[in-house]
Amino acid sequence: MSAPPPPAALARLALPDLDATRAFAGAVAGVARRGDAIGLAGALGAGKTTFARAFVNARAAAAGGGPVEVPSPTFTLVQPYDIGDTVIHHFDLYRIERPEDALELGIEDAFADGIALVEWPDRLGPLLPQGALLVTLLQGASADARDAEIAGGAVWRARFGGTLDRFRA
Ligand SMILES: Nc1ncnc2c1ncn2[C@@H]1O[C@H](COP(=O)(O)OP(=O)(O)OP(=O)(O)O)[C@@H](O)[C@H]1O
Ligand SMILES: [Mg+2]
């Protein structure tokens, strides 16, 4: 059986500073729903955890809650957040050796019930859900600048509509 096709490129965004990355994460948080998987790719220090932190906090604020501390799950590998009626699982798969190791972390239940934010989604191989949104963060032209490549299916394109236009490169 051949591998499934990669998700279609949706946009390339320019994030000139930390606030822009936070605002972009907030925009994704605004359209995310239970059952979504969001892969966060990019090199060490690209801003994956920064995105996840802003995503969780945007969801918390929208649910009427206060600020949430979101440490990097470098060692725990997964950290759950109960926010409103949704559990957000934040995974860091850098250290897993095989895709199957993610099953022991309960990643399938996380995909089924809540929202999963997955750093190092390439570690999942074929276990990354077909409908996932993939965000790849890349170093930009200055120290604090990042570019973001967004890929996902038609469902994501429809949900975003024009909301990403203000970030487009
Ligand atoms: N525009 C920006 N977007 C995101 N992070 C930025 C930006 N500008 C500067 N930074 C800084 O870059 C660092 C990104 O670190 P972060 O832990 O989010 O990276 P990471 O991709 O999760 O790394 P790792 O692979 O080690 O998990 C932070 O110190 C953050 O403040
Ligand atoms: Mg990280």
DSSP symbols for 65-96: ---------TTTSEEEEEETTEEEEEEE-TT-
Strand 78-83 relative to strand 37-41: parallel, antiparallel, unpaired? unpaired
User: What is the structure's pLDDT at 79?
Assistant: 98
- Domain harbouring 14, CATH code: 3.40.50.300
Is 3 domain-assigned?
no
CA of 64 to the centre of ligand 1 (A): 26
Is 2 domain-assigned?
no
Is 5 domain-assigned?
no
Is 83 domain-assigned?
yes
Is 1 domain-assigned?
no
For residue 152, pLDDT over 90 is answered with yes
User: What is the structure's pLDDT at 3?
Assistant: 64
147-158: average pLDDT: 97
Is 115 domain-assigned?
yes
Here the tokens at position 94 are 């850098």
**For residue 74, what pLDDT band results from cuts at 50, 70 and 90?**
very high
Output the pTM of the full model: 0.97
Which residues surround the ion ligand 2 when the cut-off is CB under 5 Å?
A: 48-49, 72, 119
Give the atom of ligand 1 at the shortest distance from the alpha carbon of 137.
Answer: 21
Is 78 domain-assigned?
yes
**For residue 163, what pLDDT band results from cuts at 50, 70 and 90?**
very high
Domain, as residue range, for 140: 10-95+104-167
Q: What percent of the chain has pLDDT over 70?
A: 98
For residue 2, pLDDT over 80 is answered with no
Q: What percent of the chain has pLDDT over 90?
A: 95
Cβ(28)–Cβ(55) below 8 Å: yes
Distance in angstroms (rounded) separating the CA atoms of residues 116 and 87: 8
Total number of domains constituting the chain: 1
Is 148 domain-assigned?
yes
Here the tokens at position 88 are 């957000």
Mean of all residue pLDDT scores within the chain: 96
Phi, psi of 136 (to 5 degrees): -110, 120
Which residues line ligand 1 at a C-beta cut-off of 6 Å? 15, 17-18, 20-21, 42, 44-50, 72, 119, 144, 146
What residue type is 162 in one-letter code?
A: G
